């Protein structure tokens, strides 16, 4: 079948079906902006957009210029490979293009997989557009910055593309997908839409790949454009929330103030949810700026508290002191802004397991003590705790490798490397018992201590008997979880084992 001016894009599920994900496929939408303007027929396919996913992919790939797949490390790779293999088998001549965080960090390893022909590194808006036009017109890929590809079995690597001002790019073409199926419920509304207002991050966290991938550069949309786009989206799709997916929304204080002031001036009524920022940055914001942000609709922020131990914060290059986290909690409580705290446990300290276990136990004690202080300030905040996962390209990655972490040697191998409280990845510096304790505290104790959990889980149950059993058992489990936290006793996890079994039986998934 002759190819049309058409491109098929696939968004792999970020998590297994037992933990269904939905939201806007922002990476694919952003990569489609120029092509949509040029008249290409763009088909974006994801499991939350179509029930017959495989059939849709094959049908649209038959007359497409290429298949594009965007992935992060972990389950998305597994899903991306599954679909790529299907397309390779049925349409062996169709170019398969991979992009996103993981292929950008390990492009040569990615393109070594037989189900990958071309990798787009870094910002994809300009690179992917030039690539699609070259493929459509049968032109050479030489000279297209940001590409790594295979040609007649040989590896070809073009120079990287410099970070471009994102104000040069078109608005995200949300009209290419069924937005109703991309809306997300939050604590602050039922109709939230994901949005990115900036790209990159200028800071140096040792576990993050931003310093390597984007060289600590950052680019933000102009305030007037942000507000105009939000105003349109709120009106067009009847939104109650904008869910920010910036790596760091709060980099430019004047920009943030201008955005919020303009929202107030135009009377755009929307909640700003999940705005990511750094603690030492936010505690320097003046009271008048906090007042304007709150009036504009700021409802929640996401911060990397990481640890209650100063030595760990220094290892992670957080450029903050332990007390900063409590100071921010008090500020946000004053302005009624929810904080979602992200913590890491199990930093790569030593190849001596006994020494490492001692260090990790110190992290436990310090972080648990800090959270007790935070709970006294506000009960509306959320705590997430992850086992440190060595991410390729980050500063701590080589240190972790030296302490026993064996990185996968193939694209498929990275499909099982996940950032999770219960990840089973082998490490030479944290014991299995400590990994299990992290999972227990994060997925069981903290969740059951959170009053919102009851309704959130109940909404996922569709069987009446299951709902009745859940209503009967939940108060008991929550009481046990609160007692464990009060006593700081996380041994003999019989109740946790029963909790996991019950969750599995109720169809809510395994760890």
Question: pLDDT-based confidence at 424, cuts 50/70/90?
Answer: very low
DSSP 324-391: HHHHHHHHHHHTT-EEEEEEEE-----S-HHHHHHHHHHHHHHHHHHHHHHHHH-SS-EEEEEE----
The arithmetic mean of pLDDT across residues 240-269, rounded, is 98
pLDDT digits (tens, 9 = 90+) for 157-182: 999 999 999 999 999 999 999 999 99
Tokens found for residue 75: 């389950």
Q: Where in the chain is the domain with CATH 3.40.50.2300?
A: 6-157
In this structure, which topology does domain 6-157 adopt according to CATH? Rossmann fold (3.40.50)
More confident residue, 119 or 421: 119
Q: Where in the chain is the domain with CATH 3.80.30.20?
A: 166-450
pLDDT digits (tens, 9 = 90+) for 467-483: 888 898 899 999 999 99
Q: How far apart are CA 109 and CA 415, in angstroms?
A: 13
More confident residue, 301 or 430: 301
Tokens found for residue 352: 């001596």
Tokens found for residue 476: 């008991």
Q: What percent of the chain has pLDDT over 70?
A: 96
Q: Which residues pair with 41 in a beta bridge?
A: 6
**Of how many residues is the chain composed?**
511
pTM reported for the whole predicted model: 0.93
The arithmetic mean of pLDDT across residues 25-32, rounded, is 98
Question: pLDDT-based confidence at 422, cuts 50/70/90?
Answer: very low
3-state secondary structure 56-78: HHHHHHCCCCCEEEECCCCHHHH
Indicate the Cα dihedral angle 445, 451, 452, 458, nearest 10°: 80
- Kindly tell me the burial class for residue 52, based on how many C-beta atoms sit within 10 Å of its own C-beta (0-12, 13-18, 19 or more): exposed
The arithmetic mean of pLDDT across residues 405-410, rounded, is 91
Indicate the Cα dihedral angle 254, 259, 261, 263, nearest 10°: 180
Residue whose tokens read 């299907």 = 86
Angle CA 267–270–274, to nearest 5: 140
Tokens found for residue 392: 């390729």
Please determine, for residue 1, whether its predicted confidence score (pLDDT) is greater than 60. Answer: no
Tokens found for residue 2: 């002759």
Reduced to 3 states (helix: H, G, I; strand: E, B; else coil), residue 456 is: helix
Q: How far apart are CA 401 and CA 224, in angstroms?
A: 46
End-to-end CA distance of the chain, in Å? 45
Residue whose tokens read 């170019």 = 95
Find the range with the poorest average confidence among 289-293, 311-315, 417-421, 432-436: 417-421
Angle CA 238–242–244, to nearest 5: 160
Task: Check residue 67 and give its pLDDT.
Answer: 98
The arithmetic mean of pLDDT across residues 252-269, rounded, is 98
pLDDT digits (tens, 9 = 90+) for 122-155: 999 999 999 999 999 999 999 999 999 999 989 9
Handedness of CA 506, 508, 509, 511 (dihedral sign): negative
Please determine, for residue 199, whether its predicted confidence score (pLDDT) is greater than 80. Answer: yes
Question: pLDDT-based confidence at 426, cuts 50/70/90?
Answer: low
Angle CA 23–24–30, to nearest 5: 155
Q: What is the mean pLDDT of the chain?
A: 93
Question: pLDDT-based confidence at 509, cuts 50/70/90?
Answer: low
Question: pLDDT-based confidence at 391, cuts 50/70/90?
Answer: confident
Residue 476 CB neighbours (<10 A): 10
What φ, ψ does residue 145 adopt, rounded to 5°? Answer: -65, 140
**Class of CATH domain 166-450:** alpha beta
What φ, ψ does residue 392 adopt, rounded to 5°? Answer: -60, 135
Tokens found for residue 65: 């210029």
Q: What percent of the chain has pLDDT over 90?
A: 79
Q: How far apart are CA 316 and CA 70, in angstroms?
A: 28
Closest CA to 146 of 164, 132, 162, 169: 162
Please determine, for residue 112, whether its predicted confidence score (pLDDT) is greater than 60. Answer: yes
Find the range with the poorest average confidence among 180-184, 305-309, 346-350: 346-350
- Give the sheet arrangement for strand 300-306, strand by strand: 275-277, 300-306, 338-345, 382-387
Dihedral-angle region of residue 274 (phi above 0 means left; psi in -120 to 50 means alpha; beta otherwise): left
Contact criterion met (CB below 8 Å) for 77 and 102: yes
């Amino acid at each position: 079948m002759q190819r049309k001016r058409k491109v098929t894009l696939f968004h792999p599920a970020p998590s297994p079906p037992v933990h269904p994900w939905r939201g806007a496929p922002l990476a694919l939408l952003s990569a489609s902006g120029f092509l949509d303007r040029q008249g290409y027929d763009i088909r974006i396919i994801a499991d939350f957009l179509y029930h017959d996913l495989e059939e849709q992919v094959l049908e649209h790939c038959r007359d497409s210029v290429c298949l594009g797949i965007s992935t992060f490390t972990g389950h998305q790779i597994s899903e991306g490979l599954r679909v790529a293999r299907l397309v390779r088998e049925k349409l062996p001549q169709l170019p398969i293009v991979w992009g996103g965080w993981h292929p950008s960090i390990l492009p040569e390893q990615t393109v070594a997989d037989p189900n990958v022909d071309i990798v787009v590194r870094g910002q994809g808006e300009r690179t992917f557009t030039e690539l699609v036009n070259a493929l459509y017109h049968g032109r050479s890929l030489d000279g297209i910055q940001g590409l790594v590809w295979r040609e007649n079995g040989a590896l070809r690597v073009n120079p990287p593309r410099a970070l471009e001002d994102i104000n040069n790019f078109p608005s995200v073409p949300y009209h290419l997908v069924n937005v109703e199926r991309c809306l997300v419920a939050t604590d602050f509304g039922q109709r939230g839409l994901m949005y990115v207002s900036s790209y990159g991050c200028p800071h140096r966290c040792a576990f993050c790949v931003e310093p390597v991938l984007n060289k600590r550069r950052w680019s933000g949309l102009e305030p007037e454009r942000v507000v105009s786009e939000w105003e349109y989206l709120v009106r067009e799709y009847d939104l109650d929330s904008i869910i920010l997916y910036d790596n760091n929304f709060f980099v430019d204080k004047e920009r943030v103030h201008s955005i919020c002031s303009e929202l107030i001036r135009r009377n755009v009524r929307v909640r700003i949810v999940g705005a990511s920022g750094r603690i030492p940055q936010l505690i320097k914001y003046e009271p008048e700026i906090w007042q304007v942000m709150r009036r504009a609709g700021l409802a929640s922020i996401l911060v990397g508290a990481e640890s209650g131990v100063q030595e760990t914060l220094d290892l992670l290059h957080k450029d903050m002191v332990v007390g900063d986290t409590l100071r921010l909690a008090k500020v946000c409580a004053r302005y009624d802004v929810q904080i979602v705290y992200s913590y890491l446990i199990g930093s790569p300290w030593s190849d001596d397991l006994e020494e490492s276990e001692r260090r990790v136990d110190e992290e436990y004690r310090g972080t648990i003590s800090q959270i007790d202080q935070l709970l006294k300030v506000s009960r509306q905040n959320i705590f997430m705790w992850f086992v440190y996962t060595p991410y390729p390209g980050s500063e701590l990655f080589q240190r972790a490798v030296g302490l026993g972490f064996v990185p996968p040697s193939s694209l498929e191998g990275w499909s099982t490397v996940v950032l999770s409280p219960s990840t089973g990845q082998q490490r030479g510096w944290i014991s299995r018992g400590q990994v299990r304790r992290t999972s227990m505290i994060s997925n069981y104790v903290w969740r059951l201590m959170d009053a919102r959990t009851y309704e959130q889980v109940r909404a996922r149950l569709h069987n009446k008997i299951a709902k009745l059993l859940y209503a009967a058992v939940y108060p008991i489990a929550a009481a046990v979880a609160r007692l464990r936290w009060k006593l700081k006793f996380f041994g003999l996890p019989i109740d946790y084992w029963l909790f996991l079994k019950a969750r599995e039986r109720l169809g809510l998934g395994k760890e």
